[in-house]
């Protein structure tokens, strides 16, 4: 993972710090599992759509903000994945001319 890449967990921790919250209190405020938020804050779990919508409502952001942070993190992790890189080498591109013949 690039060192400049903010993780979804670090982003959540920034918001917790900014609003003087902890995972327990936030979980109660947005009616979700304390464990889910704690795992997100540790980057051991992903931000789901449901959590993104709740965080967006609570922090007055857009769900896209949280989901894009997760997607950016996932894509950066995929770029670092050597197994995936090997697999991708064996995949050829679609033949555009074939689709025009139909």
**Could you report the average pLDDT of every consecutive run of 10 residues in the chain (102 residues)?**
73 98 97 97 96 98 97 91 84 81 60
Distance CA 30, CA 21 (A): 12
CA 78 to mean position of chain CA atoms: 12
Q: What is the pLDDT of residue 102?
A: 58
Q: What is the pLDDT of residue 101?
A: 62
Q: What residue ranges in the chain does DSSP mark as E strands? A: none
pTM, entire model: 0.81
- Inter-axis angle of helices 8-18 and 34-41, nearest 10: 110
Q: For residue 7, which of 45, 34, 52 has the smallest C-alpha distance?
A: 45
Q: What is the pLDDT of residue 83?
A: 87
Q: What is the pLDDT of residue 66?
A: 97
């Amino acid at each position: 993972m690039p060192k400049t890449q903010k993780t979804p967990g670090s982003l959540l921790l920034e918001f917790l710090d900014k609003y003087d919250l902890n995972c327990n209190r936030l979980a109660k405020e947005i009616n979700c599992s304390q464990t889910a938020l704690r795992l997100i804050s540790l980057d051991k779990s992903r931000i789901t759509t449901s959590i993104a919508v709740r965080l967006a409502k609570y922090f007055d952001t857009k769900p896209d903000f949280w989901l894009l942070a997760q997607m950016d993190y996932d894509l950066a992790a995929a770029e670092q994945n050597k197994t995936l890189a090997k697999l991708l080498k064996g995949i050829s591109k679609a033949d555009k001319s074939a689709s025009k013949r139909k």
